[in-house]
């Protein structure tokens, strides 16, 4: 399973990249706004930090405007992926961009039939938002399971990015059901690494090793 980081924060991307396990980055207008920086220099810097797909979201509502914006975003870097919302105009634009070889990540996906349309439009990625569904008492991960079944039934090549990840259990479930990718906030990546028994174990081994070193000095 590929792991993307869901942030536009340079320090978080740098820190997570040091692990050597980050395969891509997803951003959205909220994450960009949080950084309080100009868009272009920020995303160019992000593209230099991670050698993998970098999702950059278009903010137009009409398909013609989306197309123009998407082509501009795609020119920023060879790894740029254009994020478009799963709307009527988003689907129209995705279909056209796919014919031009521009990769689209269809975002804000909340139903399996939306995901079916995204795949038929030729989206390279589809992003079901599991956390936002959980927030309204729907099992977000059920949606991912349904999309996997549909895509397997018809051999769609669209990759499933489990998005709106809120905790390590979302990542666990994504891996258990075979999602292609999880895009994970920095704080959750940190949670994935930690286990109290690992910390206790390291501490105990180091204490015991001190005894060996003391004996060796005698
Ligand atoms: C994914 O591409 C989105 O940027 C992100 O996962 C949305 O997460 P949120 O629901 O926590 O805002």
pLDDT beyond 90 at 175: yes
pLDDT beyond 80 at 202: yes
Catalytic, 207? Answer no
Closest ligand 1 atom to 165 CA:
6
Annotated catalytic residue within 83, 103, 120, 194: 83
C-alpha distances in Å from residue 73, one per residue of 39, 59, 78, 103, 129: 11, 11, 10, 11, 23
The residue whose CA has the least distance to atom 9 of ligand 1 is 164
How many other C-beta atoms can be found within 10 angstroms of the C-beta atom of residue 98?
15
C-alpha distances in Å from residue 82, one per residue of 4, 106, 119, 128, 197: 15, 8, 15, 16, 41
Q: What's the pTM value of the predicted model, to 2 decimals?
A: 0.95
pLDDT in tens, 46-74: 999 999 999 999 999 999 999 999 999 99
Assigned token pair, 189: 């990546």
Closest ligand 1 atom to 28 CA:
4
Confidence band (pLDDT; 50, 70, 90) for 91? very high
The Å distance, Cα 6 to ligand 1 centre, comes to 7
Collect all residues with Cβ–Cβ distance below 8 Å to 63 and sequence separation of at least 6: 89, 90, 92, 93, 96
């Amino acid at each position: 399973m590929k792991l993307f980081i869901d942030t536009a924060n340079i320090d978080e991307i740098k820190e997570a990249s040091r692990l050597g396990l980050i395969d891509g980055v997803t951003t959205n207008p909220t994450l960009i706004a949080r950084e309080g920086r100009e868009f272009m220099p920020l995303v160019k810097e992000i593209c230099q930090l991670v050698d993998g797909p970098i999702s950059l979201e278009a903010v137009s509502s009409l398909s013609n405007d989306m197309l123009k914006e998407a082509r501009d975003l795609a020119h920023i870097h060879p790894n740029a992926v254009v994020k478009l919302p799963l709307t009527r105009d988003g689907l129209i634009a995705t279909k056209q961009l796919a014919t031009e070889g521009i990769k689209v990540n269809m975002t804000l996906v909340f139903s399996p039939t939306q995901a079916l349309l995204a795949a038929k439009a030729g989206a390279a990625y589809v992003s079901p938002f599991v956390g936002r569904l959980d927030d309204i008492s729907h099992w977000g991960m059920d949606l991912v399971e349904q999309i996997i079944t549909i895509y397997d039934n018809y051999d769609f090549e669209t990759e499933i990015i489990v998005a709106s990840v809120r905790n390590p259990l979302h990542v666990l479930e994504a891996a258990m059901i075979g999602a292609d990718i999880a895009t994970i906030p920095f704080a959750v990546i940190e949670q994935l690494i930690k286990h109290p028994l690992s910390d206790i174990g390291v501490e105990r081994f180091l204490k015991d090793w001190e005894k060996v070193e003391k004996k060796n000095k005698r």
